[in-house]
Chains A and B, each alone.
Chain A
Amino acid sequence: MAVAAVTQGRQRRRARWSGPGLLVPALVLMGFAVLAPLAMSFWRSLTDPSFGLSHYTDLFTDGITLTIVGRTLMTSLIVTLGTVILGYPFAYLMTRVGTTMRILMLTAVLVPFWTSMTARNFAWLILVQRGGPVDKMFSAVGIDGVVLHGTVAGVAVAMIQVMLPFMVLPLYSHMAGIDRKLLLAAQALGSTPIRAFRKVFLPLSVGGVVSGSILVFALSFGFYVTPAILGSPQQSLVAQLLGQRTLQLLDFAAAGALGIVVLLFTLALVTVANRLGGSVSALGGASVAKGK
């Protein structure tokens, strides 16, 4: 007994210290790669050229930033609505089909999730350019000159496809937790299938929709590659503005201020989404392909 107690005590002590110790490399890495650069930019945005909040107040008063932020919010909203409209029925269907079909549907979501972003944006460029397949398709039915390249619509069509997995995966993991027997019970009590769905399933799935939407909205807000390839400089979004201030104007203090604001905005949204349904972990979990 005494020996067992001693080993157990030693184990417990080991366990208590081995946990935090194993975290050190990850924390050091994140400190160098992310935290230090963030702190440097934040410091610079406050002190360059002189100490003060001028770079932050400029964001609201320079006239350009607010216009671009407004346009970006609008685009993110359209993308979010699009992913809900397409993602909700798809995720719902995933909870209804058999296992084989579900794995196939999950694959349809995961393949674009992991396919090269640059390749996909290039593909969308081919599709929506002047004389491209989308243009031709609309011409064939008598609508001429549907050139989406260089428009917000073109950016949105491509962004919805890119963001759809980020809606479907959290939605599916949320919906999979809803007991279908409740719907059957409603139907047994004389409700029509549609009414049972509207009164029972829909309210239960709202949490998933809200958390998925916030996640998609937050991620869309910082999109860089799609607007850069498919949009136009006249219709630039926040990410372009950030890139331009950094690479072309070399105005690091102003870029840092805008970057910090965008980051805080995104983190606030993601935290809310997480509270509502753990969507970020759902995302990671689903991308690790559970499909059990």
Chain B
Amino acid sequence: MATRTQSPAPRHTEEGGRPPRKQKPVDAIPLWLKIVGVLVAIYLILPTLVVIPMSFSAGATFQFPPDEWSLRWYESFFTDDRWLKALSNSLKVAFSVMVVATLIGTAAAVGLSRTRARWAEAVRSFLMLPLVAPGIVIAVVVYIAYLNWQMVGSFWGYVLIHTAMALPYVLVAVTASLSGFDTNLLRAASSLGASPLRAFWRVQLPLILPGVLSGAVFAFVTSLDEVVVALFIRSPLFETLPVRMFNSVTIEIDPTVAAASSILVVLATLLILTPQLLRLARRKK
């Protein structure tokens, strides 16, 4: 509550005459700090947005700002077979990863919440490993293993490793919502005769659903965006959208990547903004 002290207050009183010195809040936020905050926010958000004007460029180079405008790169994205194939591969993988990671991750989070044993923390750390292990190390070892297993460039190869990489996000999201869950409710359900599965389905799941759903969104986005491992385990027959984009930037200099980037940036922003805006709207009520 102590953080609620706001500085705009004295400015309003200034209009109605000279305010006594004492009315200035003891704990005001200095102006320079607000300026730094705005600058950092700009640094965080603005650079990414240059891909949007780029995508409407008429030129065939990465010249910014563009001299002329056109929709040709969107046309190229939606008519070129390689881009469409990459997009559909990515969406298929991401959707499968979302389903599998959400199921397995939710089960694991619930399992960990019911285990008081000491090894449970070790298991949790192990399941969090893909979040902290460098993507390049995972890429190298998985590539070598997939060569042996003949899984390079296979749909299920992508789903397997992307699911492992998405698992920590589901685990964290579901664990967070489980922390507010009262286990007495399960005991109550069971004393009324519900089987454990039924108690989970009818009592626990509805209450932790927000965590499960945000875990699912995170899993989807993680897979859709993953590029390092995908660069290693791709094949000419199967590559995902980020791999196509990476090649368009580094090898082919194909401005269609600007259209693809803009679509992804707008999608991710909407996915993140919607829940935040809903939260703000709920506060206003």
* Residues of chain B at the chain A interface (Cβ within 8 Å): 2-4, 6, 26-27, 29-30, 33-34, 36-37, 40-41, 43-45, 47-51, 54, 62-65, 103-105, 107-108, 110-115, 120, 123, 126-146, 148, 160-161, 163-164, 167-169, 171-173, 176, 187, 190-191, 196, 211, 214, 218, 221, 224-225, 227-228, 232, 242, 245-246, 249-250, 257-258, 260-262, 264-265, 268-269, 271-273, 275-276, 279-280, 283
A218 touches B (CB below 8 Å) = yes
For B214, the chain A residues whose CB sits under 8 A away are 288-289
Identify the closest chain A residue to B210 (Cβ).
A288
A229, B211: Cβ atoms closer than 8 Å: no
B144, A44: Cβ atoms closer than 8 Å: yes
Interface of B: prevailing SS: helix
**Pick from B103, B132, B169: contact of A270, CB under 8 Å:** B132
B54, A222: Cβ atoms closer than 8 Å: no
B48, A115: Cβ atoms closer than 8 Å: yes
Given A112-B48, A224-B134, A242-B140, 18 more A-B residue pairs with CB atoms under 8 Å apart are A19-B115, A25-B103, A26-B108, A33-B164, A90-B37, A90-B41, A105-B37, A116-B268, A118-B249, A122-B261, A125-B62, A126-B64, A127-B64, A161-B43, A246-B140, A256-B141, A266-B137, A289-B279
Beyond A105-B41, A180-B2, is A116–B169 a contact (Cβ under 8 Å)? Answer: no
Pick from A55-63, A96-104, A140-148, A205-213 the stretch touching chain B.
A96-104
A20 touches B (CB below 8 Å) = yes
How long is the Cα–Cα vector from A118 to B51 in the complex, in angstroms?
11
How long is the Cα–Cα vector from A133 to B114 in the complex, in angstroms?
55
How long is the Cα–Cα vector from A150 to B62 in the complex, in angstroms?
16
**Pick from B139, B148, B276: contact of A103, CB under 8 Å:** B276
B132, A266: Cβ atoms closer than 8 Å: yes
Identify the closest chain B residue to A22 (Cβ).
B111
For B111, the chain A residues whose CB sits under 8 A away are 18-23, 26
Chain A, interface size: which category?
A: 35 or more
B245, A252: Cβ atoms closer than 8 Å: no
Beyond A37-B141, A115-B48, A123-B47, is A222–B136 a contact (Cβ under 8 Å)? Answer: yes
